[in-house]
Amino acid sequence: MSWEDNVRKVTPYVAGEQPKKENVIKLNTNECPYPPAPGVAKLAARMEWDRLRLYPDPDASVLVNALAKYYHVSPKQVFAGVGSDDVLSMAFLTFFHGGKPILFPDITYSFYDVWAELYGIPYKTCALDQEFHIRPGDYRQPNGGVIFPNPNAPTGVFESLDVAEQILMDNRDVVVIVDEAYVDFGGESALPLLKKYDNLLVVQTFSKSRSMAGLRIGFCIGSEKMIGYLNDVKFSVNSYTLNLPSQILGAEAVRDDAYFKSVTGRIVATRERVKGELKKLGFSFPDSRANFIFAAHEAIPAGQIFQALRENDIYVRHWDRPRISNSLRITIGTDEQMDRLLDFLGRYVAGYGKCGASRIHAGT
C-alpha cells in the first residue's frame, strides 16, 4: 500500500503553449491581439492598492451588475468566475449530477471530457457531420445534460439558433449549456432563448473579444434558480474566486461598448480577408464565425506545416486526434501578424518538396 493508491489520477487538459521567448507571432490560444478598452488601463493606474488587504466581494457585484445591465437581465441571473473554464467547471459540478451520460460533440472543446472524468460524470459524444455541423437529432436520446460551444471550437462552425432551440426543446428535463466563448465574432447569442427555457445556461468570457485573458474573467447567464444552485456549489468550494482588480477592471471593460464593437469588427474584417488568402494557397476550412480559422492544406500534412511555422516563431495549434489531425487552428491576429503568416505560408507552400522548405525564415 502506498499513498499513491489514494491519489485521484486524472489526465489533465493541455493548454496551448505560452512561449517564454519574445517576438513570437502567437496565434495558438485565440487571444485578442488588441489591448483592453482604454478605460481599463486608466482605472488600473488609479487603483487603490490598499484595498488588496481585504478579501474581494464574494458576489463580484460590481461586475455582475455591469453584465446584468449590459445584457438586460437581473443580477440574480448572472454568475461570474475565474475565466469561463471556472464557470464551466462549476456548472459541470452543479448541473451534471443525474447519473445518465451527458452529451457533447465528438469534436469540441477538449476540456469537457476532462471535467467529466474529474467529477465522475458519464458522457457520450455525438459525431458532427462531414461539414462539422451538429446533427440535432443525436441529442434526442436519454441523457443527463447537454453542452456544446457555439461557434464550436476548434472548427469555428456556428449553428443557427434554430439548432440550439431544437436541442433545448428535446431536452426540457436536463440542463443545456451553450458555451459562447467565441460568439462575439459574428455568431448569434442564445440569450434571447432564456425567456422560453429555464434550463438554458449561456457561458461567455472576457478572454477573447474583450482582450482580458490575463485577468481571467468568465460569466454565465441563466434562470435565477439555476444561478442560485451554481452559487451554492461555488460557495462550497471557494467563496472568493474573482480577485478585486478583475472585478473592477472587468466592469469597466463592459461599459465601453464602442471599443468592444470596434475590436470585434476589426478581427472579423481580418478573418474574412485571411480566408480569401488561405484559399489561394490551397487551404480549405469550414466557414468560421470565431476569431480563428481551422485550416487544412490540400497537399501538405498539417503536422509538417505546424513544425515549420514553429521553427519560424509562428505558433498555431495542432491536435493529433481522429478527424482533425490534418487541420491547424490559426488565431486571427493583427493584419500585420497575419500578413507575416501568409507571407511565410506562401513561400513554404511554393517551396514544399524542395530541399530545406522548412528552413524558410519568416520575415526575410
Is position 187 an interface residue for ligand PMP (rule: CB under 6 A)?
Answer: no
Q: Which is nearer to ligand PMP, 207 or 312 (CB)?
A: 207
For residues 201, 102, 172, 82, the Cα torsion angle rounded to the nearest 10 degrees is -10
When binding is defined by CB under 6 A, the residue of 77, 94, 143, 207 that contacts ligand PMP is 207
Q: Which is nearer to ligand PMP, 40 or 349 (CB)?
A: 40
List the interface residues with ligand PMP, window 16-35 (CB under 6 A). none
Residue appearing with cell numbers 513570437: 24
Is position 181 an interface residue for ligand PMP (rule: CB under 6 A)?
Answer: yes
Q: Which is nearer to ligand PMP, 59 or 86 (CB)?
A: 86
Position 243, amino acid: N
Alpha-carbon distance 257 to 357, whole Å? 45
Is position 83 an interface residue for ligand PMP (rule: CB under 6 A)?
Answer: yes
Q: Say how many residues touch ligand PMP, by CB under 6 A.
A: 12
Is position 213 an interface residue for ligand PMP (rule: CB under 6 A)?
Answer: yes
Residues 6 or more apart whose Cβ sits within 8 Å of residue 364: none
For the bound state, the minimum distance from the C-beta of residue 207 to ligand PMP, rounded and expressed in Å, comes to 3
Alpha-carbon distance 140 to 159, whole Å? 17
For the bound state, the minimum distance from the C-beta of residue 1 to ligand PMP, rounded and expressed in Å, comes to 38
For the bound state, the minimum distance from the C-beta of residue 293 to ligand PMP, rounded and expressed in Å, comes to 14
> Nearest CA to 256 among 186, 316, 206?
206
For the bound state, the minimum distance from the C-beta of residue 28 to ligand PMP, rounded and expressed in Å, comes to 11
Is position 246 an interface residue for ligand PMP (rule: CB under 6 A)?
Answer: no
Is position 149 an interface residue for ligand PMP (rule: CB under 6 A)?
Answer: yes
Q: Is 50 helix (H, G, I), strand (E, B) or coil?
A: helix
Give residue number: closest CB to ligand PMP. 83
Q: Which residues of 293-332 are buried (b: 16+ CB within 10 A; e: fewer)?
A: bbbbbeebebeebbebbbebbbbbbbbeeeebeebbbbbb
Q: Which is nearer to ligand PMP, 205 or 264 (CB)?
A: 205
For the bound state, the minimum distance from the C-beta of residue 318 to ligand PMP, rounded and expressed in Å, comes to 15
Q: Is 18 helix (H, G, I), strand (E, B) or coil?
A: coil
Strand arrangement, sheet containing 328-331: 283-284, 292-297, 328-331, 317-318
Is position 179 an interface residue for ligand PMP (rule: CB under 6 A)?
Answer: yes
Pairing state between β 218-221 and 78-81: antiparallel
Is position 241 an interface residue for ligand PMP (rule: CB under 6 A)?
Answer: no
Phi-psi region of 16 (alpha: psi -120 to 50; beta: other; left: phi over 0): beta
- Binding residues (CB under 6 A) for ligand PMP: these are 83-85, 109, 149, 153, 179, 181, 205, 207, 213, 218
